[in-house]
Amino acid sequence: MYRILIASLLCAIAMPSVGGWFGTQFSADAVQVQPQGQRTTGKMFVGSERVRTEMERDGQLVVEVVSPAKGVAWLLFPAGKVYLERELGPAMAAMAGSGKGDPCAGSPGMTCRRIAEERLNGRASIKWEISGTAPGHTFHSSQWLDAEHGFPVRQEVAGQPLFELRHVGVETIGGRHTEKWESAIYSPDGAVGRGIQWYDPRLNTAIRQEMPGGHLRELTDIREGEQPNHLFTLPSDYKKVDSLPGRVPGSPGRK
């Protein structure tokens, strides 16, 4: 059960989205809706180059803290005071750190080479070639950054699905001005997954995502303001574990 839980939480990080995380600091309620209609709510806190999400699953609070600058993500289980740690992959570090400058800035072990300025789906973009190393392999990709916003609008990685974004208009979501972008993920087998994202330029992130397969993620009750540093630090009394094969100490038992 806990391996499934971990995978479901970490997939939110792996899913490409417009923007990074690091515009204006804010907190918000986070809503996820599954294709079957299952609804999960939690909290999100975006600080200075760090993100914290809190979700309750099976009666247990699970906290995730992502720090692209450090290249790590922590998955914390407060009930048992234990946590898992994983390294962010080179592709994720590059996407999370993307901006109007070098997308490899602050990502040790990665090299970015600016190739050209190109028009992509009617918008100015900058093409970068990115290389780096990860455990067991070398990483190469091509990435096109939107010239206005600095986030990836196309990403190509050998053997992986191609990701692309297309700007289609502007809309007001929850009283906030957003840009509407269509996303497409082209799998090597020819399948195409399409979605829609509403990007908030002030927050530099998508506040609503309708993803392939019918998944929905949305931020509501957004409150701008500086976030406390302690939300993004690892508690000193937590024990690091390599896996969670069974019930976490202090958590509800399985029925």
| pLDDT in single tens digits along all 255 residues of the chain | 333 333 333 334 333 444 455 678 999 999 989 888 888 889 999 998 889 999 887 788 999 998 877 778 999 999 999 999 988 765 455 445 445 577 777 666 778 899 999 999 999 999 999 888 766 678 788 999 999 988 889 999 877 888 999 999 999 999 999 999 999 989 888 889 899 999 999 998 899 999 878 889 999 999 999 999 999 999 999 999 987 645 554 444 443
Q: Specify if 248 maps to a domain.
A: no
Calculate the alpha carbon distances from 154 to 88, 184, 188, 228 in Å. 20, 9, 15, 34
Q: Specify if 252 maps to a domain.
A: no
- How many domains, in total, are found in the chain? 1
CA distance 45 to 47: 6
CA-based nearest residue to 106, from 68, 161, 144: 68
Domain CATH number, residue 90: 2.50.20
Domain containing residue 202: 2-240
pLDDT of the residue at 86: 87
Asked if residue 68 lies in contact with residue 81, where contact means CB atoms within 8 angstroms, the answer is no
Q: Specify if 100 maps to a domain.
A: yes
pTM of the model: 0.77
The dihedral over CA atoms of 150, 154, 156, 160, expressed in degrees to the nearest 10, equals 110
Q: Which helix (H) or strand (E) holds 95?
A: helix 90-97
Q: Specify if 251 maps to a domain.
A: no
Q: Specify if 11 maps to a domain.
A: yes
